[in-house]
Amino acid sequence: MENFIPLSIPNFEGNEKRYVNDAIMQGWVSTGGSYIEKLEKQLADFLKTDDVAACQSGTAALHLSLIDAGVGSGDVVIVPPLTFIAAVNPVKYQLAVPVFIDCDDSLCMDPQKLQCFCEKECSFENGRLTYRERPVKAIIVVHVFGNMADMELIMDTAARYGLKVIEDATEALGTYCLTGKFKGYYAGTIGDYGAFSFNGNKIITTGGGGAVTAKKKKNVEHIRYLSTQAKDDKQYYIHHEVGYNYRMTNLQAALGVAQMEKLPEFIRRKQKNYERYKELFDEFLLADLMEFREDIYSNKWFYSLKINKEKVKASMKYIIEVLQQEGIQTRAIWGLINEQKPYKGEDTYSLEKAPYYFSRVLNIPCSTQLTENEIVYVAERIKRVLWNLTDET
């Protein structure tokens, strides 16, 4: 279609081709090569953390974090219901048991409900938290759409009950706290572990790829070791643990090094485009552009429109189809994970906001290449389409 505006596409305006070509010319395309370490160094410097291990995907980053955190069969992991399912699937890989806790208006985990769950639904004896006879080991906190969960309260609760915190910062590379105890700390560097993703639609991409950081350098080193088949020796095949083929390749890393050079620019554009949408949807009665928390610097990765369902009677599916015909790609927010087939029957706690936002949030185009004209076009069409779906017309 002419003038089709996609939801989110990668941006390769920098040195991507040069570096990938260089990696090919050097013959280093697989899990060895200088771009991998270069990317790890870039990420560590950017995030102001000691060490980062690059891996195959955000999912692998989360899986390796859970393994290193000692989460195993029958353990309970506290997770969010309203996010991409990859944040929770690694809990199942470890044969552990998820319990879903509600989000707040930031779309991230509600810290008060987390605290209540630990206090009222679990028992705490000899420094160990148990839920229905099972040990509670960890919390996976997702920083949804580049927003940030209230880490201060979450870390307090985790410390009180001896839980590991795994930050899913796959959508929040570049987001950091502006105030409070963690002022200046980047999303992913506050908890015990932080996972990042460089999938095609993330703020930077390596095609597919991810990274892990951890509060302690030795955990990052162990994760890097696990990701390279737990090889103890470069020459001889000696292994002391079950490893994984989760290491990032040099080809991916070459892309990543070029993308990291552009990250500050990508964030600036995401923020600028968000502000423009904000003006255009100001005082619009049928939908609000959702805000990011004020006490953070957000990468503003993804934009969420909250549809006023009391006025707009059409289904989300219908709205998306009409907009598609207008040349605008939009997307409904994720279906609740606890309602997906592999998770039916798992325990939930106090889910109110998650179903509320599930039925109202529409994600709108947010690529870094968006032009002023495109942003105006998107906003005007969305407004017109929604007006046409009210009773008042």
Ligand X SMILES: *Cc1c(COP(=O)(O)O)cnc(C)c1O
Closest distance to ligand X from the beta carbon of 83 (Å): 5
67 binds ligand X (CB under 6 A): no
Alpha-carbon span 140 to 167, nearest angstrom: 6
Closest distance to ligand X from the beta carbon of 301 (Å): 9
106 binds ligand X (CB under 6 A): no
Closest distance to ligand X from the beta carbon of 85 (Å): 8
Return the residues of window 122-181 that contact ligand X according to CB under 6 A: 142, 168, 170-171
Return the residues of window 192-221 that contact ligand X according to CB under 6 A: 197, 199, 210
Alpha-carbon span 118 to 122, nearest angstrom: 5
Beta carbon nearer to ligand X, 329 or 390: 329
Three-state secondary structure call for residue 272: helix
What DSSP state is assigned to residue 87?
G
Annotate each residue in 246-265 with x if it binds ligand X (CB under 6 A) or - if it does not, as one string. --------------------
140: closest CA among 174, 114, 178?
A: 114
57 binds ligand X (CB under 6 A): yes
363 binds ligand X (CB under 6 A): no
68 binds ligand X (CB under 6 A): no
Closest distance to ligand X from the beta carbon of 230 (Å): 21
Identify the residue among 8, 83, 219, 368 touching ligand X (CB under 6 A). 83
Closest distance to ligand X from the beta carbon of 358 (Å): 15
87 binds ligand X (CB under 6 A): yes
Closest distance to ligand X from the beta carbon of 75 (Å): 20
302: closest CA among 7, 4, 86?
A: 7
Residues in the chain: 393
Distances from the Cα of 328 to the Cαs of 214, 284, 322, in angstroms?
39, 19, 9
Place of tokens 């709108």: 364
Beta carbon nearer to ligand X, 206 or 330: 206
Identify the residue among 19, 84, 100, 161 touching ligand X (CB under 6 A). 84
Alpha-carbon span 215 to 194, nearest angstrom: 8
Distances from the Cα of 12 to the Cαs of 115, 170, 206, 260, 327, in angstroms?
43, 20, 11, 11, 23
Closest distance to ligand X from the beta carbon of 58 (Å): 2
Beta carbon nearer to ligand X, 14 or 80: 80
Q: Which stretch binds ligand X (CB under 6 A): 52-60, 153-161, 336-344, 379-387?
A: 52-60
Q: Rounded to 5, what percent of the chain is helix, strand, coil?
A: 40, 20, 45
Residue 223 near residue 64, CB atoms below 8 Å:
yes
86 binds ligand X (CB under 6 A): yes
343 binds ligand X (CB under 6 A): no
Beta carbon nearer to ligand X, 106 or 377: 106
Beta carbon nearer to ligand X, 23 or 333: 333
Residue 304 near residue 362, CB atoms below 8 Å:
yes
Q: Which stretch binds ligand X (CB under 6 A): 28-36, 80-88, 235-243, 310-318?
A: 80-88
Residue 186 near residue 44, CB atoms below 8 Å:
no
Q: Which long-range contacts (CB under 8 A, 24 or more apart) does 213-216 make?
A: 213/43, 213/44, 213/47, 213/49, 213/51, 213/52, 213/53, 213/188, 213/189, 214/51, 214/65, 214/68, 215/189, 215/191, 216/192
Q: At what angle do helices 58-68 and 217-227 cross, to 10 degrees?
A: 120
Beta carbon nearer to ligand X, 65 or 157: 65
Can you give the binding site for ligand X, defined by CB under 6 A? 57-59, 83-84, 86-87, 142, 168, 170-171, 197, 199, 210
